[in-house]
Structures are given as C-alpha cells and as structure tokens.
C-alpha cells in the first residue's frame, strides 16, 4: 500500500470522526448542517474552522464546573427565594398582572426572585450614568463590586480608577472583574496601579494566544455594579469616554445608550451573579452570607424587579426566553431598541405574529452602525418584519447602543443583552425586568423622543433595493453567529 493511499484513508476516517462529533455536539440542526458541509467540502480548513469556532470548550470544561458551583450556592437561597416571590406575587398582584407568567418563568429557570419596594432610576447616556455612579461609589462604606465588559484607559476610565483606589484606601473592599478581550487597553500598568492601590482586579477569563479564537468567542458582556448591598447599576454603558456626549464635541459620534440604577432588594441576585463570577475568575470562595446578603433597607420605591441572566454556563438561554415571553405577552404595544437585530427564528416569529395580531410593534435600530458587517447581516430581517406591519426606525443622531424593551406600558427590560445570537448563546449577559407602569411610561417617552431623531423604513423602498445589495447582506448573514 503506497503512502498516498494511506493518507487518503486516514483523511476519510478523520472526516467521518469529525462529522460524527459535529452531529453529536451541535444542538442546532442548521448550524450542524453548515459545519458538516464545511468539513466535507473544504479540505482540512473546514475541520480546523469547526474545532476553533464550533466547539464550546469553555462550557464543556471550565464552565461546567462553574455552573455546578453557582447552583450549589444558589440552592442555599432557593427556599427563601420561592417564599419571598410567592408572597410578593400575592401582595403586589395588581402591579404584575400582565407579567405573571414571565415572573414564574424567571423564578423556575433562573431562581430569580420577584422583589418589591425597589426604587429604579432611568439613566440616559453616559452623562447621567457616570455622574450617578461616581456619586454612589463615593458614598460607599463597606464594599464596591464592579463587573464590566469594556473599561478603557482614557479619561473616564482613569477617573474610575482613581476613585476606586481612594475608596480602597479608606477601608472599603473593592473588587473588579473585567473582560480580558473587551478591556484589553487596561492590561498592564492600569491594572497594576489598581492592585497597588488596594483594589482586587481580575480578568474574567484571560485571553492567551493558545485557544485565542475560541476564548474571544465567549465574552463577559455584563455591566454590573453593586455597592454596600443596597444600590446596583445595570445597563448598556461601559466605562469609556465614547459614552459621554460633551457639548461642542461635534467631531465625535453621538452615543445613545440606557442604564439603570436600582435601590432595594432587586440588587440581591445581581450580587449573587457577581459573587459567582468573582469566585470563578479569582479562585476565591466568597460565600452567600450576611456580609453581602444582609437584609435590605426599608422600601424606597414601588417597582417590582426581577433579574434575567444567562451565558455559556447556562443550560438554556434565559435571556432569549425572557424576551420571547415578554413579546408573547403583548396585547397592545411593543417598543424595542437594539443595536443589533439578528435574533433567531423564534424571536422573529414572535415579533411577526404580534404585529399580524394587531399589536403595535416599533423597533429602533442604528442608522449609523459601529459595524458594517453586522448592519448588513441585520438588514436581512427587516423585509419580513416590515411586511407584517412592524415599524422599523433608524436612529440618525448617532449610534444607538441601548438595549431596552417595553410591553403594554407595564413591563420593561433594561440590560446588557442585544437581540442577537451572540447575546442569546455566546455571551454572559444580564437584564433587569421592571414591572411598573410608572417606569414603563418613562421608558416609552424616551423611546418616542428617540424616534423623533429617526427615519422610518418604508417597505416599498426596502424591497426595491438592488439585487447586489441584497446578495451582499445575505452573504454577511452567514457569519452572524460569529459577529
């Protein structure tokens, strides 16, 4: 038997083994078929592509252990969570009538309690968020927990660094988690200065050259701050100068974003998420004890709040489930703002059915995108939605990065998750669900103010675009799971 024949037989056997691996490991049939075709018809490189991008090494190894640890800690709180949630459902039934099924979904899937008596504050853009955040940090007395996807080594990043060091030297315990990919500019001197100043800082998962592509495919996209177990921040605004719109600074693109401050028991699950993530990336073993889960202060507001979170360590995409359930609950109106509209078929079908059923569906997307490829991939969804009667607005004032949803003027979602495959299945994400007509009305007003600076896409003009434009967009969509 000559050497060439041996190599051919070996390669055929290798392709068969890889194909069996793809079939066994890939739950999504469309993705499995794509990987199979790529492995078979693109010699060698097709298989390399699958092993680099197709296998969730972190979920299979590191994150499986993380999930076990997280669930073990959460079980300690389960009885208290269920008891408190049932009591709140009874006591505040009027405030969550429209969202009762969503409440129960998150309770069973995330063990996320329905909390009452929360004061929630809508923060528009970095200007409002950073003033509020820095004030709250400066008033901290016991601990400050921060978790961010992007922290830049710029003016706003250094302001935060100096403030955290100041609080650490005052005796406040300061812990910081940063995504090693998103926060690459603070590696080295910035982080060393934090640690030298008494701040504990760890990357969520260090990006090394080995397994580089697979590691950057799974990102900690969360933005969480918890201060003294009383105040929390969550939303779309990272730590960067780009989020601040300074008067007279017309040379820089306007950045439209939304953040949220929560005061009250709604912060406790955010604290749990932080502690779980901290134990994973630091190797420490903070416990769910009274130090970080003390009794909350007296009710400061009237909002009911739940938290939805998921990631590569989650059995299901709770983020996607919560969006889907909220959309399906709509009877009158859905107002959605997202920078990336590349959802899976279930969400597309839910939005389409809502519009065809007479629900007023309005979606705000960027008119000016930060990624041409992502914008092209998202464009392939617009035709079907427009045909069903969905109104799609392109924000023209700048780049809209906000991730919000309002349903029937009673249910609101503000958080970190985009309406795309990456947020549903690849990233670590977290959203706050607010059951409050007062807050929903404030978010509605913000939405309608934004569409004053937007242009409505007309269906007839959209479907009349040139063939080559549509072909380019459909080609870009093939890469949407990686965008």
Residues catalogued as catalytic: 221, 223, 228, 401, 403, 408
Whole-number Å distance between alpha carbons of 333 and 354: 9
Spatial CA neighbour of 304 closest among 252, 357, 262, 333? 262
Alpha-carbon radius of gyration of the chain:
23
CB of 392 closer than 8 Å to CB of 461: no
- In 149-220, at which residue ranges do the beta strands (DSSP E only) sit? 173-178, 200-203
- Which parts of 179-227 are beta strand (E)? 200-203, 224-227
What sign results for the dihedral spanned by CA atoms 115, 118, 141, 221? positive
User: Distance between CA 229 and CA 418 in Å, rounded?
Assistant: 27
Contact 149, 221 (CB under 8 A): yes
CB-CB neighbours of 284 under 10 Å:
12
Q: Is 124 helix (H, G, I), strand (E, B) or coil?
A: strand
For residue 111 the two structure tokens come to: 């063990």
The helix-helix angle for 318-329 and 345-356 (nearest 10°) equals 10
**DSSP reduced 3-state for 221:** coil
* Range 294-313 burial, b when 16+ CB lie within 10 A, else e: eebeeebbbbbbbbbbbbbb
- Residue 477: count of CB within 10 angstroms of its CB: 18
**Beta-strand pair 231-235/255-256:** unpaired
For 349, list phi and psi in degrees, rounded to 5.
-65, -40
The two beta strands, 360-366 and 255-256, are unpaired
DSSP 46-106: HHHHIIIII--HHHHTHHHHHHHHHHHHHHHHHHHHHHHHHHHHHHTGGGGSTTHHHHHHH
* Furthest C-alpha separation in the chain: 82
């Amino acid at each position: 038997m000559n050497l060439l024949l041996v190599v051919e037989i070996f390669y055929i056997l290798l392709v068969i083994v890889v194909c069996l691996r793809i079939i066994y490991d890939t739950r999504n049939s469309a993705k499995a078929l794509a990987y199979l075709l790529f492995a078979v018809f693109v010699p060698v490189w097709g298989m390399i592509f699958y092993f680099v991008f197709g296998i969730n090494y972190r979920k299979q190894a590191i994150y499986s252990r993380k999930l076990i640890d997280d669930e073990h800690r959460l079980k300690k709180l389960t009885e208290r969570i269920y008891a408190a949630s049932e009591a709140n459902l009874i006591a505040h039934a009027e405030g969550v009538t429209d969202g009762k099924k969503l409440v129960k979904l998150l309770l069973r899937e995330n063990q996320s309690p329905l909390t009452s008596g929360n004061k929630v504050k809508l923060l528009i853009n970095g200007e409002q968020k950073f003033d509020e955040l820095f004030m709250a940090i400066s008033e901290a007395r016991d601990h400050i927990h921060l978790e961010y996807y992007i922290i830049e080594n710029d003016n706003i990043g250094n302001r935060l660094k100096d403030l955290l060091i100041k609080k650490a030297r005052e005796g406040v315990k300061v812990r910081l988690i940063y995504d090693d990919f998103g926060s690459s500019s603070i590696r080295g001197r910035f982080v060393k200065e934090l640690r030298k100043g008494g701040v504990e800082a760890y990357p969520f998962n260090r990006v090394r050259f080995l397994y580089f592509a697979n590691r950057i495919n799974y990102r900690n996209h969360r933005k969480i701050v918890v201060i003294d177990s009383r105040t929390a921040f969550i939303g779309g605004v990272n730590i960067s100068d780009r989020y601040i719109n300074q008067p007279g600074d017309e040379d820089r693109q306007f950045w439209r974003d939304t953040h949220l401050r929560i005061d009250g028991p709604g912060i406790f699950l955010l604290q749990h998420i932080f502690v779980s993530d901290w134990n994973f990336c630091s190797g420490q073993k903070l416990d769910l004890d009274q130090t970080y889960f003390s009794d909350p202060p007296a009710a400061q507001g009237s909002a009911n709040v739940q938290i939805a979170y998921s990631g590569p360590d989650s059995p299901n995409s709770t983020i996607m489930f919560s969006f889907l359930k909220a959309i399906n609950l709509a009877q009158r109106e859905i107002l959605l703002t997202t920078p990336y509209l590349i959802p899976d078929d279930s969400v597309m079908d839910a939005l389409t059915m809502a519009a065809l059923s007479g629900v007023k569906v309005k979606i705000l997307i960027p008119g000016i995108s930060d990624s041409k490829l992502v914008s092209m991939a998202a464009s392939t969804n617009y035709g079907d939605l427009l045909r069903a009667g969905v109104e799609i607005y392109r924000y023209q004032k700048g780049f809209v990065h906000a991730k919000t949803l309002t349903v029937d003027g009673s249910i609101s979602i503000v958080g970190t998750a985009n309406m795309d495959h990456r947020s549903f299945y690849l990233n670590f994400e977290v959203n706050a669900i607010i059951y409050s007509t007062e807050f929903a009305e404030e978010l509605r007003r913000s939405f309608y103010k934004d569409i004053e600076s937007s242009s409505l896409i007309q269906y007839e003009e959209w479907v009349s675009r040139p063939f080559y434009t549509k072909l380019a967009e459909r080609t870009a969509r093939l890469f949407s799971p990686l965008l």
